[in-house]
Structure 1
Amino acid sequence: MTETGIRSDVPQTPSPQRRGYTHREIMQILSGLLVAMLTSMLSTSVVGTALPTIVGELGGQEQLSWVAAANLLTMTVSVPLWGKLSDLFGRKRMFQLALVLFALSSVAAGMSQSMGMLIAARAVQGVGGGGIMALVQVILGDVVEPRERGRYNGYVGSVFGVSTIAGPLLGGVLVDTQGLGWRWCFYLAVPFAVAAFLVVQRKLRLPYVRRDARIDWWGAFTITGAAASLMLVLSLGGHEFAWDSPWTFGLFALSAVLAVAAVLAERRAADPILPPRLFRDRTFVLTSVASHLLGIALFAMMIYLPQYLQIVKGMTPMASGLMTLPMVLSHVLSSLVCGRLVSRYGRWKVYPVVGLLLVAAGLALLSRLEVGSSEVAIGLDAAVVGTGFGMSMPILLLAAQNAVEHRDMAVATSGVGFFRSLGGAVGVAAFGAILTNRVHDEMTRLLAASRVKLTGTVDLGTPEAIRGLAPAVRHVVVHAFADAMSTVFLVAVPTALLGAVAVACLRELPLRTGASSPSG
């Protein structure tokens, strides 16, 4: 496939002082970026609570998993493309294009009359969301020098924590509120996207130069294809098809072949989407590995802590959302504090190392939860994990941005985000398989031990269905889920520990006070 030569606007690399941004202007720009990021992240987490209601109205139970998988798939595979596109066509216009795509697809999702229409809208929404997630950090990197970026990255980390954890709570409120309903899970994003568009239009002023550039079409096809094939098998394996089916083996093989083709394509491309020189940078590789492992642990918390609260503790979606507040608040506080400390003292390595160790410790504590565990213990354990996430995620990204040349800042930023999202997909698939197998094994053991006789099949589809079981059967199911989720949290511990090892192997490069390339 040939590459097409085009001329495009790309940001220069002057320091923030030459751009003339004051702290107040940076905060105004950041407010628009954070609103967009909050809206994008909420769109991925808020829909989970509404899915049973959506299926009840639109039908298509067999397509249920695609509503979430389509969004996650397109968001993940599009992240590295947005970074390169912003180099070619400019940060501001690409960010605004992402907002427009996101807003229009949100309206389409809210107006959906069938599951097919909803899935298609969610796929486009994921493309827009991927652009928002990638370019928020890229634009912040253009506006703020690395030494000062820590304090602002703290706000970004706070929004990430709030949106990913609070989404199920908001979804429960919207679905249960008279006059709103599940469609407002999508409509709610539109005014925020419009507000972010206007703020960026008025406040963001990035100078541009003209240059010759080429679109790496072959690289785009192979990278996207490899990631999409892997995401499909991880998202749908065990649900839409069995893990030992031809679909699984075929998609894994396709992903491997396209990954090899992507390496060859990027080595030959004049202007590659993921430049091979990034993978010769020790800091970029190790921060990507640590972010990937952190993404695995993050999704273990996002997906399975609410399940424990709703299935084992019998909480409603709204109550389980409230129980995650200790994790949200600790995430926000640690992000802000660590960001300011990094900006003040210029040292950054200690925070993600300690943070990942705290994530591991918190997951180990959660693995000890039982049916009778108190809400106070659950909240404290979750707060430990939230503190670790807040200390790790924004600082890892800052380290990657600081290590590369400014010309690679956009692709490095989107690359780290890509590997973190891919880690989330791996985590969901792996932990889902562990949970299913452990629940089956524990139920078999507990039924035999209690001598409970089953009549027919046991419906484990929703927490409501479990609460409607006969008391003796419900006792078995709840204890089986408690034991299985303990295993999930325990298995997640090594991923956080390996992430801490990866960060410990980093060289702590001094944070730049301008846009010059890092030395060493």
Structure 2
Amino acid sequence: MENHLQLEAFQSNLPRKQVIAALVGTMLSMFLGSMFMTIASTAMPRIITDLGGFSQYTWVFTSYIITETIAVPITGKLSDMFGRKWLLVIGMAIFTLGSFLSGISQSITELIIYRAFQGIGFGMMSALGFIVIADIFPPEERGKYGGLMAGVFGLSTLIGPTLGGFLTDTFSWRWCFFAPIPLGVIIIIIFIFLFPQLKISHEKHRIDYLGVMTMTLFIGPLILALTWGGVDYAWTSPVILGTLAFSVVMLVAFLFIESRAEEPVIPLGLFKNRVMVVSAMVGLFMGAAFFPVVTFIPLYFQGVLGAAATESGLFLTPMMLSAAVGSFISGQTLSRAGGHYRLQGTIGFVISAVGFFLLTMMNPQTSYGVAVVYIIIIGLGNGMIMPIHTIAVQNTVPYAVMGTATSMIQLLRPLGGVFGLAIVGSILNNTFASTFLGNLSSDVKAVVLPEQLAAIVDNPQALVSPEAHAQMQGMFEGLGGQGPALFEQMLTTLREALNTALIQVFMVFFIVTILGLITNFFLKGIPPHRRREDRPF
């Protein structure tokens, strides 16, 4: 109780300059980290040309995701033990140094290692962003600034690929990693000299090293298995089954250790709190639906609707903008209307569900404008949901575990995204293959070799690559007079099969959103002005 009252007094007397510095520094760190999380996506073709290692292409992203995800809960716990300020400094320093090292990489292996190092820094910053909001603002004000933080995250991930393409084309792919360094240094200076020490503890703490180790050995292999499954290895292969089995064993060991640790990384008592449990489940469902959709919308625009590659990525812009608007509106409403978490979550999920259902009604004749309206609806609903459950958790758990609880929500969303991507990836591949081969005319099958058909099913580049399209067209033209007609049959069947497969994917997202909506109904109301210490686990 005494520690909490001291914190409230400190908050109320915090100089305006320090509040602004804390808010600006934290938002800039979130903006920088999330923007440069995606910046390499458009630079990767040029990177592979310079450094080689095409077979290791995905590891540049996977290594970043694994270390970022693992760093989030560890940072949340450490911030409860030792405070936020110096963890922010360390996180930004790691991110900035990792960015520099990535920029001077001389091989793809070096780049993978340095991106993994950089991911640790971003994981620390993303964990602390929403925690700092809860530190410097009272419960009734957190919604406004939490919504603003969520909006910044959405906008920055949108800017990343565009900026990456500009830097790569204008200068070099290395500038995608050099560019954030000056701003990173400025943010570090802000944190050191202007950021307040919001929590000062003179107690001796014991770090749960066994908990950290087993959690790392649970999360890392889990992400690897879900990333490899159905892509690099069959789901039933010994590699995938063995990796998943090892992950499950480590999860059991982690739970056993946490139940006995003096200061566990994740106190299991948190899950006696209904708001925490509901928010955690909502985070998984939200991540499973909204994180993967940004992968499949450009594919639909390009592969089914026939948009150019540069256009297909730009169609995400309206969705990201509407998500930022939704986050801002939701946060303002939380603070001004009394914290109706369940009601606002319900509205957000209903809007998103409507958007996903409308996506399932699309076909190759759908206009760009109609499709954009549908994804704007999805973005608006997603944005409205994003800040709600984080703020709800912060306003229910004791201050002593607020960092840990907040980081748990930040952890479960990307984990849900990995699960969602693995599930719908398998659905996409299986539905596309069966639909394409089942609907392909016998005339086309008679002139295309089985191994060529297998290659097309495995990677239908003719729908998204002008070069592959021209190459396949040339192959059919070599068949004589019937060649062009057969080529059009092939292309139409490909497009219709991809449409069918992606509609199935969007239907899965719709179902997952409905599950999130149902789960959200179990969230109890929490007036934002109630004191944290009045609410037990």
Same-fold status (TM-score > 0.5): yes
Residues 12-21 or 110-119, more deviating: 12-21
Q: Distance in 2 between matches of 1:69 and 1:377?
A: 34
Query: Does residue 1:500 correspond to 2:517, yes or no?
Result: yes
Residues 188-197 or 370-379, more deviating: 188-197
Offset of residue 199 of structure 1:
2.4
User: In 1, are the aligned partners of 2:292 and 2:421 still within 8 Å (CA)?
Assistant: yes
1:477 to 471, 484, 494: 494
1:291 to 275, 279, 283: 283
Q: Distance in 1 between matches of 2:178 and 2:491?
A: 37
Identity of aligned residues (%): 31
Query: Does residue 1:46 correspond to 2:39, yes or no?
Result: yes
Aligned to 1:404: 397
* Alignment coverage as a number of residue pairs: 509
Cα displacement string for residues 431-473 of structure 1 (whole angstroms, at most 9, x for unaligned residues) = 2111122221222123237736435343535932554342534
Aligned residue type for 2:515: L
1:413 to 406, 422, 438: 406
Residue pairs, 1:378-389, within 5 angstroms: 378-389=371-382
Larger radius of gyration between Structure 1 and Structure 2? 2
Query: Does residue 1:141 correspond to 2:134, yes or no?
Result: yes
Residue pairs, 1:264-303, within 5 angstroms: 264-303=256-295
Residues 430-439 or 398-407, more deviating: 430-439
Query: Does residue 1:186 correspond to 2:177, yes or no?
Result: yes
Cα displacement string for residues 87-126 of structure 1 (whole angstroms, at most 9, x for unaligned residues) = 2332110111011111111111122221111111111111
Q: Distance in 1 between matches of 2:138 and 2:526?
A: 14
Aligned residue type for 2:165: G
User: In 1, are the aligned partners of 2:40 and 2:164 still within 8 Å (CA)?
Assistant: yes
Q: Distance in 2 between matches of 1:192 and 1:480?
A: 46
- Supply the RMSD in Å over aligned alpha carbons: 2.2
Distance 1:433 1:329, change over 3 A: same
1:259 to 245, 251, 271: 251
Query: Does residue 1:489 correspond to 2:502, yes or no?
Result: no
Distance 1:129 1:514, change over 3 A: same
Query: Does residue 1:244 correspond to 2:261, yes or no?
Result: no
Q: Distance in 1 between matches of 2:54 and 2:153?
A: 30
Q: Secondary structure at the match of 2:7?
A: coil
Q: Distance in 1 between matches of 2:373 and 2:9?
A: 40
Q: Distance in 2 between matches of 1:380 and 1:124?
A: 39
Cα displacement string for residues 387-426 of structure 1 (whole angstroms, at most 9, x for unaligned residues) = 1111101111101111100001000011111111110111
Q: Distance in 1 between matches of 2:306 and 2:500?
A: 15
Offset of residue 23 of structure 1:
6.0
Residue pairs, 1:357-376, within 5 angstroms: 357-376=350-369
Residue pairs, 1:22-171, within 5 angstroms: 25-171=18-164
Residue pairs, 1:305-316, within 5 angstroms: 305-316=297-308
Q: Distance in 1 between matches of 2:281 and 2:161?
A: 28
For normalisation by structure 1, the TM-score amounts to 0.92
Residues 397-406 or 163-172, more deviating: 163-172
User: In 2, are the aligned partners of 1:11 and 1:206 still within 8 Å (CA)?
Assistant: no
For normalisation by structure 2, the TM-score amounts to 0.89
Offset of residue 281 of structure 1:
0.9
Query: Does residue 1:202 correspond to 2:218, yes or no?
Result: no
Distance 1:124 1:410, change over 3 A: same
User: In 1, are the aligned partners of 2:150 and 2:324 still within 8 Å (CA)?
Assistant: yes
Distance 1:32 1:356, change over 3 A: same
Aligned residue type for 2:513: A
User: In 2, are the aligned partners of 1:65 and 1:236 still within 8 Å (CA)?
Assistant: no
Q: Secondary structure at the match of 1:242?
A: coil
Distance 1:56 1:518, change over 3 A: same
Q: Distance in 2 between matches of 1:372 and 1:170?
A: 32
Query: Does residue 1:509 correspond to 2:526, yes or no?
Result: yes
Aligned residue type for 1:404: V
Distance 1:61 1:122, change over 3 A: same
User: In 1, are the aligned partners of 2:330 and 2:387 still within 8 Å (CA)?
Assistant: no
User: In 1, are the aligned partners of 2:327 and 2:387 still within 8 Å (CA)?
Assistant: yes
Distance 1:497 1:324, change over 3 A: same
User: In 2, are the aligned partners of 1:312 and 1:371 still within 8 Å (CA)?
Assistant: yes
Aligned to 1:454: 448
User: In 2, are the aligned partners of 1:16 and 1:514 still within 8 Å (CA)?
Assistant: no
Distance 1:166 1:303, change over 3 A: farther
2:223 to 217, 221, 231: 231
Residues 156-165 or 307-316, more deviating: 307-316
